[in-house]
Structure formats: structure tokens, C-alpha cells
Chain A
């Protein structure tokens, strides 16, 4: 499968714990996006990378959230000191630099208990 992959697919954690998610984009795509989707809502933009540079961050991305894309390939999204309000589906998407078409992964569903 050459699409966007995300791991893990599901994560259950206790409040206060740290979690990290991984996204592997389509191999030739140099743009990578993170979105968050809560129940009954559409995805909301969190941040995006062009190659290894993080170029935009939403105000939704509090200081407990950090994202990296160290080699311009896969990316990680870490949430520190998780809160119940962090429970959501975290979606990753990738695209070519000059394309508006984003390809989405299956998401990581986070449940904070």
C-alpha cells in the first residue's frame, strides 16, 4: 500500500500521560499536514510541514503539542500531559508542493480516560 499510513490506529491513555503518533506520507510528497477531528465535526488544521520545516501552526496547537519531521519524510505528533479534551481522531495528510490535492491517512483515534 503506497498511501499515507499512520500508527498506531488506536491509542487509549490515561489523563496526564504523554502520547506520540507517527505518520508516513506518500514517498514523493514533500508537504505533510496534521488535522484533528472530534466527533460530529470536520477535520481542523493543526500544522503543516514542507520537507522538514514546520511552516504553519494553528492556534489549536497548544504548547502541550509538538510535531516534528526531522528528515523530511515521516512525522511525529506528540501530546504531553494529555487531557480528556484531547480525545479525537488525529489525521495526517500529504501532498506535492505544487498540488492542492491532499491525500489522507486512516487516522489515529486517541481516547484519554
Chain B
């Protein structure tokens, strides 16, 4: 069975700092990869996704993620964070199963100080 690891549980940054959140998965086959975000008091929402093609994918709000197959990684990046990026971020994998069920990492709680 696949698993997803997010190594940073809590990250605190100042505004304008650069962000990189790590995500590693364990599955040897083809995977679809996702980053979801949950802003305080709101639903989980999709930030970006990778299925195939260019391993550098761009999402909403200036976020991007890079799929590195050899490292089983899909790290999330943003060059300059804003206070409004304060949220919890979840990496998720769909290992090509028929039902598209997602396996999530444990989440990283990001706090951006103004």
C-alpha cells in the first residue's frame, strides 16, 4: 500500500520568505500527485496536481510543485509567502487505483508572520 510522508509538521515564516514543503511517497508504479490546502475554518481545496508531462506544475496563488520521480518526491514551493498563506497543507497520492482514492500525508501547518 502506498504511503505519504510530510516531514515538516509545523513551519513558521515571515512574509516574503521562500517556502518549500517536503512530500515523499512510497509506491513503485504510476502515481497522480496532489497538494491540498485548508485555510482556517475552510474546506480542503485543491492547490495543484500532477498527472503526467512537465514535472514542474503550477497551481493557484503562486504555488508550484516539482515531481522528482527518482526521489519519489513532490515538494511544494512558493518564492514569497504572504500572511494569507497561513494554512495547513496536505500532500496526497492516487496510485492509479480505479476509484481515485487519495492517500494523504500528515499535513504541514504553515504560519506566516506579518
- The chain A residues found within 8 Å of chain B, CB to CB, are 3-4, 31, 33, 35, 40-45, 48, 50, 55-56, 91, 93, 95, 100-102, 104-107
Contacts and interface: CB of A to CB of B under 8 A. Distances in A.
B99 A50 contact: yes
Given A42-B107, A100-B49, A100-B94, A56 B44 contact: no
A105 B90 CA distance: 16
Contacts of B90: 42-43
B106 A40 contact: yes
B92 A42 contact: yes
Interface in B52-83: none
Q: With a 10 A CB-CB cut-off, give which of A4, A40, A56, A102 has the most chain B CB atoms.
A: A102
Nearest to A102: B102
Given A41-B107, A56-B101, 5 more contacts: A3-B43, A42-B105, A45-B102, A102-B100, A106-B42
Nearest to A4: B43
B101 A100 contact: no
Contact of A100 (B32, B36, B103): B32
A104 B100 contact: no
B101 A33 contact: yes
Q: With a 10 A CB-CB cut-off, give which of B6, B44, B45 has the most chain A CB atoms.
A: B44
B4 interface: yes
A47 to B, nearest CB: 9
B25 interface: no
18 contacts: A3-B43, A31-B100, A35-B102, A35-B104, A40-B107, A42-B104, A42-B107, A44-B104, A45-B101, A48-B99, A48-B101, A55-B98, A56-B97, A56-B99, A100-B94, A102-B46, A104-B43, A107-B43
